[in-house]
């Protein structure tokens, strides 16, 4: 392999060291990457503020959780991400460790395409003031919490009252998040490049209530008139803050866009078939 001439791209090497393989794999990969790029930062504790780091792209080792955390670390300054799957499911980290050497040279030479994906801004208003603001890649959810009784959540779309959900929680997810918590709650799968949000109730107490898909150009507001002591806002699986009576949770499209490198030979439906085990036909049991 010949080292390219000119300015080398600057790379972040990221991962979660709770996965015992991460540091071992990183130690093996780093010399290979440095043949074609400059590794400007390694962060395996996922604590660095990456929004101010000068880099061209990030290589994330692990699973979707590690990529999710990296997106949060980058904040409103997102750079292209290449996910290398060391986990289990891996909808975002769909490149295997064995496949990485084949694409590494082209990626470091800038011969890659990255696709922008929708992110959301989530704000909590209390007495007219913003008391919390979060950036999300997967979803924002109001969850019932202790004592885990049914919760009534009012939903407004562009300030128009839509309905009241009696449920264990209400999720507003991005297309990327449609294969996460929303999918587990019975929501639909959206292509990752669709510009829409999915509204999915968790264990709704009405049989006619179904998930709703609407454009990402609208503003969604969740209100809980009578929250439980443990009722909280959760963004991308992280507890953000408890909610009080009168709080308004506003969800809208973010200016930040998550950038995922498109790996040659990989496609969206191929990933779904592989990760969700879509066989395409029923298998009959042979008799003895």
| pLDDT greater than 70 at residue 3 | no
Do 20 and 91 fall within a single domain?
A: yes
Assigned domain for 273 exists: no
Strand, helix or coil at 194? coil
Residue 262 forms part of a structural domain = no
Report the C-alpha gap between 176 and 180 in whole angstroms: 8
pLDDT computed for residue 13 by the predictor: 97
Q: Where are the beta strands (DSSP E) in 137-206?
A: 139-143, 151-157, 160-167, 169-173, 196-202
Q: Cα–chain-centroid distance for residue 153?
A: 24
Active site positions, annotated: 64
Answer yes or no: do 130 and 242 share one domain. yes
- Sheet architecture: strand order including 238-242: 212-215, 196-202, 169-173, 139-143, 232-235, 238-242
Do 105 and 181 lie in one domain? The reply is no
Q: Which of 78, 111, 144 finishes a domain?
A: 111
- What is the rounded CA–CA span in Å between residue 72 and residue 94? 19
Structure tokens at 220: 């969604």
Whether residues 144 and 176 fall in one domain = yes
User: What's the CA gap between 101 and 43, in Å, rounded?
Assistant: 21
Same domain, 247 and 178: yes
212 dihedral zone (left: phi>0; alpha: psi -120 to 50; beta):
beta
Overall average pLDDT of the 31-41 stretch? 93
Confidence of residue 6 (pLDDT cuts 50, 70, 90): low
pLDDT above 70 covers a percentage of the chain that reads 94
Residue 151 located in a structural domain = yes
**Per-residue confidence at 2, pLDDT binned at 50, 70, 90?**
very low
- CATH number of the domain that residue 127 is part of: 2.60.200.30
Q: What pLDDT does 281 receive?
A: 57
pTM attached to this predicted model: 0.91
Q: Is 16 in the same domain as 100?
A: yes
Write down the H helix ranges in 118-250. Answer: 181-184
Same domain, 204 and 247: yes
Q: Kindly state the DSSP code that residue 189 receives in the 8-state scheme.
A: P
Let me know whether 103 and 123 are in one domain: no
- For the ranges 2-11, 61-70, 123-132, 194-203, which has the lowest average pLDDT? 2-11
pLDDT band at 111, cuts 50/70/90? confident
Q: Distances from the Cα of 252 to the Cαs of 38, 203, 256, in angstroms? A: 36, 24, 11
CB 44 within 8 A of CB 222: no
Residue 46 tokens read as 């996922």
Which of 76, 93, 111 is the last residue before a domain boundary?
111
Q: How many domains does the chain have?
A: 2
Domain limits at 160?
118-255
Q: Which residue has the higher pLDDT, 100 or 90?
A: 100
Instruction: List, for residues 144-194, the tens digit of each pLDDT value.
Output: 999 999 999 999 999 999 999 999 999 999 999 999 999 999 999 999 999
CATH number for 32: 3.40.50.10330
Please check the confidence at residue 83 and state whether its pLDDT lies above 60: yes
Bridge partners, residue 115, by sequence: 260
Same domain (yes/no): 144, 107? no
> Are both 82 and 152 inside the same structural domain?
no
The pLDDT, as a whole number, for residue 40 is 97
Last residue of a domain, one of 58, 78, 111: 111
């Amino acid at each position: 392999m010949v080292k390219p001439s000119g300015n080398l791209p600057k790379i972040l090497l990221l991962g979660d060291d709770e996965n015992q393989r991460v540091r071992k794999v990183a130690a093996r990969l780093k010399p290979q990457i440095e043949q074609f790029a400059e590794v400007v930062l390694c962060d395996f504790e996922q604590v660095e503020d990456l929004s101010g780091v000068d880099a061209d792209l990030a290589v994330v080792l692990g699973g979707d959780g590690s990529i999710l955390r990296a997106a949060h670390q980058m904040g409103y300054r997102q750079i292209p991400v290449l996910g290398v799957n060391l986990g289990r499911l891996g909808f975002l980290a769909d490149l295997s460790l064995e496949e990485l050497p084949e694409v590494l040279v082209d990626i470091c030479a800038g011969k890659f395409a990255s696709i922008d994906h929708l992110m959301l801004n989530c704000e909590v208003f209390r007495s007219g003031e913003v008391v919390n603001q979060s950036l999300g890649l997967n979803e924002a959810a109001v969850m019932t919490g202790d004592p885990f009784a049914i919760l009534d959540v009012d939903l407004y779309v562009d300030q128009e009252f839509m309905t009241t959900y009696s449920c264990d929680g209400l999720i507003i997810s991005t297309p990327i998040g449609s294969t996460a918590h929303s999918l587990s709650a019975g929501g639909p799968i959206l292509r990752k490049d669709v510009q829409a949000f999915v509204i999915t109730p968790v264990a709704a107490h009405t049989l006619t209530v179904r998930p709703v898909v609407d454009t990402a150009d609208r503003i969604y507001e969740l209100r809980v008139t009578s929250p439980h002591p443990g009722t909280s806002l959760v963004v991308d699986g992280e507890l953000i803050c408890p909610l009080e009576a009168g709080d308004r949770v506003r969800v809208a499209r973010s200016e930040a866009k998550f950038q995922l490198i498109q790996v040659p030979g990989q496609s969206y439906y191929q990933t779904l078939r592989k990760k969700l085990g879509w066989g395409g036909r029923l298998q009959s049991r042979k008799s003895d």
